[in-house]
Amino acid sequence: MNATSQSNNTTLGSGAGNKTAETVRMAFLCLIVVCFLLFLCLVTVILYVFFTNAQVRESARHVLFTHMLVNDSLYLAAGLCLLVASLYVVSMPVPLCYIVITVVTSTFWVTPYNLAVMSLERYVAICHPLRHAEICSGHRSGAALGAIWALGLTPNIADIIALSRSADKAFYSLHVICTKEILILNITQKSIRSYSLIISLSLVASAIIYTYIKVMLVARKVGSGRSSAIKAGKTVLLHGVQLLLSLMSLISLYTEISLGEYVVLLAISNFLFFTCLPRFLSPLIYGLRDEVLSRYLKRLYPKAPLSNVKKTCPSEMYS
């Protein structure tokens, strides 16, 4: 009798716990979706400003910044799809899974490369101002974006080649819960991902550190008479901070391994805090601090709290 009562109590407690977990999960999902929609609204406004103003489109920094916002939007959308599929055990064909994973991984790495190129643009503007218009032209901005995507897609191309050597035709007809791990069939793929992580981080970190040092040396040499150099140094440092924020999602891999048995709904909380939050901050960190974009936003929304914005030419950026 006691055993039966204890079993019934355990079942009731388990049911209540499951209902609480489902409520918390839905609350997290709703919060993520609402924040994502607000993020898309702000990105849409910035895109409208970008495509309706020729002067803004000619600025290399605005081209790179707008590209980063579009890339982050793709990354978050694909990541959200994977999260929902994982939480609600929705399977998908392996080819579709691989396409989604490719979008997630390539857009993930495009953001750091984009930040590195933005830092190099600031380096050219401060250390080689006479050649800035020539080097950072609209045509070369397009070439830089092409190089960024080539670097971002290279590990995926290598991974496809490695996967094709181990997977048979039956594998591609499977329906799976889509994760990165389910698509790793051999040690070569693990090596590709490890080496691409190390090489990418080294390249991006080296570019940002180098540009920051060079820009601050110019600022120290000219003293307080050239505040643009100091502003550029702060901007490059901000790129470094944004790089760390964008890479925070890598922390989730270790927290899920070490705390997965103890933390409830760890995957969804990791996605919110380590993946979404850093990218939600990008329009606020860069867009609203940009004097050019703020001026155009003030024209679109005269009653918006964007007062005390100085008029400036599109060559000025990030006070």
Task: Print pLDDT tens along the chain (319 aa).
Answer: 444 444 444 443 445 557 777 888 888 889 999 999 999 998 998 898 889 888 888 889 889 999 999 999 999 999 999 989 988 889 999 999 999 999 999 999 999 999 999 989 989 988 888 888 888 887 889 999 999 999 999 999 999 999 998 888 899 999 999 988 899 999 999 999 889 989 998 999 899 899 988 888 887 776 654 566 777 777 778 778 877 777 776 766 666 655 655 555 777 878 888 888 888 888 877 766 777 777 777 777 665 444 444 444 434 443 3
Long-range contacts of 146-149 (CB under 8 A, 24+ apart): 148/67, 148/110, 148/113, 148/114, 148/117, 149/106, 149/110
d(CA 298, CA 234): 25
DSSP string, 31-48: HHHHHHHHHHHHHHHHHH
Alpha helices in the chain (DSSP H): 2-51, 54-57, 60-87, 94-127, 132-135, 138-166, 169-172, 187-222, 227-246, 249-259, 266-270, 277-280, 282, 291-300
Q: pLDDT value at position 1?
A: 46
Among the listed residues 85, 76, 82, the one whose alpha carbon sits nearest the alpha carbon of residue 108: 76
How far apart, in Å, are the Cα atoms of 256 and each of 22, 182, 262? 19, 16, 10
Do residues 307 and 227 touch, judged by C-beta distance below 8 A?
no
Residue 195: CB atoms within 10 Å: 12
Do residues 271 and 79 touch, judged by C-beta distance below 8 A?
yes
Integer Rg of the chain from CA = 23
Do residues 178 and 86 touch, judged by C-beta distance below 8 A?
yes
pLDDT > 70 fraction of the chain, expressed in percent and rounded: 80
Please give the domain boundaries of the chain with CATH numbers for all domains: 20-300 (1.20.1070.10)
Phi-psi region of 126 (alpha: psi -120 to 50; beta: other; left: phi over 0): alpha
Burial of 32 (0-12, 13-18, 19+ CB in 10 A): buried
